[in-house]
Each structure stands twice: as structure tokens, then as C-alpha cells.
């Protein structure tokens, strides 16, 4: 049995009931096979066995008092997956679907993504099954403070540096950082995605969405084209989706769809992003409200956002949101390129369908790495007590995304899979981590 297959089977057997983690491991370990075959030193050093086992993981109780005076209990998670190249780094997700499996898949992907950025950050992820939707400001604050009452002892600027993800934006980061500071008495860069008023980096809010579009810019350039005049289908209407839409429009494209968990809007004239920002960022409303802003737009409940004709697709909502049926629609409509804003937007079958039909595809760990990359720049600014301009951060981000694209593309070519960015990104990310693990001995 091949080394990768054996490790994968053992990890699946050891961690039953973790389907998302199995999915993420399967994709990565399968693409690592050619490289591992050439380098028996990795098997000898049990690198894969060590990679699939988190360094440690915490599951904790998060009790808080709601506005009726009742006590609510949620479950908190933090998986500190791998610190071979830097302190654990990765977001915190608040969503009712959060489970250990989801946090482990995200943490596992984060190891490779963070390695690809070229910056010194290890991999981790956390979250809770808490649902911020419909909660009052006070309830969200009470929850965030209770989450930190437990988690603060395991994190720190040189230890584990969380940030946002689904359901965790500037507001939640502010409440969590405030509580961390109160509990530890330390004003350090222990969190990223902070407000600009208290140590955040300019450009972090925009970074994931802008970075995603910079990745696509490189992909389109290889295809001999650019964003100008293209129709872009975007899913989601949160942080990543909104800034991907803004940058796509700045590059001359027309964003034709956006969505949330209830449905999607199709505006063939081009989405009015200011309207989406007002609905989502100011009022915390639903995307269905968009049609009150634009009479030409249509709202579809329960429909498949990928059925709207487009040239470029940017899934920016959540895992497994673009499966075989969505891929089929994109192929049918002549889409030329897909880049994942969300982590693991597609499954393996859908990815293969896209690739086999000549749709240029970038996996999330390359395409959405701009967010964590600017988080690492926020850490650098915090530790040197300086603040860079928006232009400086954006310039660095654009270069980092070009570097990630170039190294993923070059690695795919080196291993005879030219243009397969899934293989290229996994291999390029892996090489650096494995090297760091080998140099540090059996730890
Ligand atoms: P937000 O919470 O800001 O937005 C999430 C969006 O996705 C919302 O529109 C939400 O709709 C939708 N969504 C969430 N869960 C589901 C679901 N189960 N089904 C359908 N729609 C859903 O999160 P972000 O924009 O920050 O994150 C989006 C994706 O990008 C995630 O996969 C995240 O891991 C990834 N990512 C985020 C980074 C960041 O810096 N924020 C960095 C790299 C990746 P609704 O409001 O109805 O829930
Ligand atoms: O998935 C991700 O890369 C994030 N949610 C951002 C992580 C970070 O630490 O900025």
C-alpha cells in the first residue's frame, strides 16, 4: 500500500465521524503522492503521520447569559495543528454547523495555505456552534467574552494568533481582543483583524476578497485575457464576497450574482455593491432585500447560484457549496475560470469536472491566502509598533498573491501536471513545512 494511502486510511479510522476532515486530507494526501515517492526521507521521518495529527486541540464550554436572563451553553474549539514554521495562525468561525470535523479540516488546510504565503505562520483554527444571527449586541459581546475567558490562556502573539472567519468580523474580534487584554494585561498582537483604532492593519478587511481577485488576475493573464468586460458570479455576501465584488468591478468586470444561505440575486446589469454593503454590513439584513434597490434584479430562493451565466466564478460562502451540479452549470455556460474564496468550496469530483473541461481552477489554500497573509503583515506591524499605509499593504498583498500563483504553477509544471494548481499548491506548501519539520527533529 502506498505511504499516503496508508496514512490516510489510518487517519480516517482514527477519526471517524469527521467527514470534512477526511475530505480535506484525501485531497491533499493524494496530490502529495508523486513528491513523496521521490523522497523516501519523508516516510522515514513519519512526516505525514505527524501532519495529520494536530499538535493539540481544545474543546471547551462557553456559558453566557442571554437578554432574557437565561444561561446558554455553547461549545468552543481551537485546534493548534502545526507550528513547524511559526505560531499557530488561523481564524475563528461562529456558525451553528461548527463541529470538530469542520475545525480540523479548516486547520489542516490552513497549514498549507500559511506555508504558501511565504510568511512565518503555523496552522490553526477555532470556533463555536454559537449563531450570531439575531443576537443583540450585548449577547454577542457576552458570548465573545466568555469564549475568551477560557481560550485566552492558550493564545498569544508568539503562541497562537486567531482572527475572523464566518460569523466573526471586526465587531467580534474587538470584543474578544478587549477581553484578552483585560485578562492578561498584555497589549500585544495576539489577534488579527483588529480595528484600525487599536492596532489593526489597513487593508485587512479587504485582503481576502482583493487577494482572491489578484489570484484570478494572474490566472486570466496565463489564459491571455483579463477581467475587463467579464461576468463574474460570486456566492456569499459576507466579508470575502463583498471585497471580491468590489475589486472585480474595479478591474472592469460585471458582478452578476451574490447570495446568502437563503437564496441568491441575479443582476445581469452588474450588482450594486454599495447596496449589498448597506444591507449586509450596516443592517445585517438578507440578500433578498437587494431587489428593493434594483428593479431589474431577480431573487431566487433555494436556487443554484451557479446556474446564472458567467465567465468567472468565485465561490465565497462556505465549504462544499460548488458540487457536481454547480460544476455542470458552469461548464454548460462556458465559464473559463474558478477560484475558491471559501475554504474547500468544491469537492474532489467537482474539481475534477472543472479541470477536465478546461476550466482553470485555483483551490482556496492558494486563492484565499490573502487574508491570512495580511494578518501576518498585521502581526509584523504590531511587533515593530508601526502602521503601514493602505497602499503599502495592498502592494505587498498583490505581490504575495502573484508569488503564490507563480510557485503553485511552477510546482505543477515541475511534477508534470502543468496548470493543475491543486497539485501545485499542495506540493509547494508541503515542501516548506516538511523541510521545517525535518530540521527540527522528532517533534
Ligand atoms: P462571513 O460570515 O462574512 O460571510 C459568510 C457568507 O457565506 C454569508 O453570506 C453567509 O450567508 C454565507 N454562508 C455561510 N454559511 C453558509 C452556508 N452553510 N450555506 C450557504 N451560505 C452560507 O464570512 P467570510 O466572508 O469571512 O467567509 C466566507 C468564506 O471565506 C469561508 O469559507 C471562510 O472560511 C473563507 N475565508 C475567509 C477569510 C477571511 O479573512 N474572512 C480568509 C480566507 C477564507 P448567511 O448570512 O445567510 O449565513
Ligand atoms: O481561512 C482563513 O485563512 C481565515 N479565516 C483568515 C485567517 C487569519 O488568521 O487571518
Residue 73 zone, left/alpha/beta (φ > 0; ψ -120 to 50; rest): beta
What angle is formed at CA 293 by the lines to CA 289 and CA 297, rounded to 5 degrees? Answer: 80
Asked whether 20 and 101 are in contact (CB, 8 A), the reply is yes
To the nearest 10°, report the CA torsion of 25, 205, 432, 413: 80
Ligand 2 cavity residues, CB under 6 Å: 89-91, 113, 163, 165, 192, 343, 371-372, 375
Task: Tally Cβ neighbours within 10 Å of residue 254.
Answer: 18
> What pLDDT does residue 56 have?
98
> What pLDDT does residue 34 have?
80
Of 200, 367, 368, 425, the one to substitute when testing ligand 2's pocket (max ligand atoms within 8 A of C-beta) is 368
DSSP reduced 3-state for 315: coil
> What pLDDT does residue 285 have?
96
> What pLDDT does residue 243 have?
98
* Nearest ligand by distance to the CA of 20: 1
Of 102, 123, 162, 260, the one to substitute when testing ligand 1's pocket (max ligand atoms within 8 A of C-beta) is 260
Rounded-to-integer distance, Cα 309 and Cα 257, Å = 10
Edge-first strand order for the sheet with 160-163 is 56-65, 71-82, 122-128, 88-94, 160-163
* Nearest ligand by distance to the CA of 87: 2
> What pLDDT does residue 443 have?
81
Asked whether 26 and 9 are in contact (CB, 8 A), the reply is no
> What pLDDT does residue 192 have?
98
> What pLDDT does residue 1 have?
87
DSSP H or E segment with residue 412: helix 390-414
- Three cell numbers written together for 128: 463555536
Model confidence pTM above 0.85: yes
Residues with a known catalytic role: 125
Q: Kindly tell me the sign of the dihedral angle through the C-alpha atoms of 351, 125, 193, 383.
A: negative
DSSP reduced 3-state for 336: coil
> What pLDDT does residue 237 have?
98
DSSP H or E segment with residue 37: helix 19-38
- The low-confidence residues of the chain, meaning pLDDT below 50, are none
Closest to 160 in 3D by CA, of 204, 118, 126, 207:
126
Closest to 369 in 3D by CA, of 241, 210, 190, 254:
210
Amino acid at each position: 500500500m502506498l505511504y499516503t494511502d496508508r496514512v490516510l486510511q489510518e487517519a480516517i479510522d482514527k477519526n471517524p465521524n469527521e467527514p470534512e476532515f477526511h475530505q480535506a486530507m484525501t485531497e491533499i494526501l493524494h496530490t502529495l503522492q508523486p513528491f513523496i515517492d521521490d523522497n523516501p526521507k519523508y516516510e522515514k521521518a513519519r512526516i505525514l503521520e505527524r501532519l495529520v495529527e494536530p499538535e493539540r486541540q481544545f474543546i471547551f464550554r462557553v456559558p453566557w447569559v442571554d437578554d432574557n436572563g437565561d444561561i446558554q451553553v455553547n461549545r468552543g474549539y481551537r485546534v493548534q495543528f502545526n507550528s513547524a514554521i511559526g505560531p499557530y495562525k488561523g481564524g475563528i468561525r461562529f456558525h451553528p454547523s461548527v463541529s470538530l470535523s469542520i475545525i480540523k479540516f479548516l486547520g489542516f488546510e490552513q497549514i498549507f495555505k500559511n506555508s504558501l504565503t511565504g510568511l512565518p505562520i503555523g496552522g490553526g483554527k477555532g470556533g463555536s456552534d454559537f449563531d450570531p444571527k439575531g443576537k443583540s449586541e450585548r449577547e454577542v459581546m457576552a458570548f465573545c467574552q466568555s469564549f475568551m475567558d477560557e481560550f485566552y490562556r492558550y493564545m498569544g502573539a508568539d503562541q497562537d494568533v486567531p482572527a475572523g472567519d464566518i460569523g466573526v468580523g471586526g465587531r467580534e474580534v474587538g470584543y474578544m481582543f478587549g477581553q484578552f487584554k483585560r485578562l492578561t494585561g498584555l497589549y500585544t498582537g495576539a489577534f488579527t483583524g483588529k480595528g484600525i483604532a487599536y492596532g489593526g492593519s489597513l487593508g485587512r478587511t479587504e485582503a481576502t476578497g482583493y487577494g482572491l481577485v489578484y489570484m484570478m488576475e494572474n490566472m486570466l493573464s496565463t489564459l491571455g485575457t483579463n477581467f475587463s468586460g467579464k461576468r463574474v458570479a460570486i456566492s456569499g455576501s459576507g466579508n470575502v464576497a463583498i471585497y471580491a465584488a468590489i475589486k472585480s468591478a474595479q478591474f472592469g468586470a460585471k458582478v452578476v450574482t451574490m447570495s446568502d444561505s437563503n437564496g441568491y440575486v441575479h443582476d445581469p446589469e452588474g450588482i450594486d455593491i454599495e447596496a449589498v454593503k448597506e444591507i449586509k454590513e450596516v443592517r445585517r439584513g438578507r440578500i433578498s432585500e437587494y431587489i428593493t434597490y434594483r428593479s431589474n434584479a431577480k431573487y431566487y430562493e433555494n436556487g443554484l447560484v451557479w446556474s446564472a451565466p458567467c465567465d468567472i466564478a468565485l465561490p465565497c460562502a462556505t465549504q462544499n457549496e460548488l458540487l457536481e451540479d454547480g460544476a455542470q452549470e458552469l461548464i454548460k455556460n462556458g465559464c473559463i475560470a474558478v477560484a475558491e474564496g471559501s475554504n474547500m468550496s468544491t469537492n474532489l469530483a467537482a474539481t475534477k469536472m472543472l479541470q477536465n473541461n478546461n476550466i482553470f481552477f485555483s483551490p482556496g489554500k492558494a486563492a484565499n491566502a490573502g487574508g491570512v497573509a495580511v494578518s501576518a503583515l498585521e502581526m509584523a506591524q504590531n511587533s515593530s509598533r508601526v502602521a503601514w499605509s493602505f497602499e503599502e499593504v495592498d502592494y505587498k498583498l498583490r505581490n504575495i498573491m502573484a508569488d503564490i500563483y507563480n510557485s503553485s504553477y511552477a510546482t505543477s509544471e515541475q511534477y508534470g501536471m502543468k496548470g493543475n494548481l491543486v497539485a501545485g499548491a499542495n506540493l509547494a506548501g508541503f515542501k516548506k513545512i516538511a523541510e521545517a519539520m525535518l530540521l527540527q527533529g522528532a517533534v
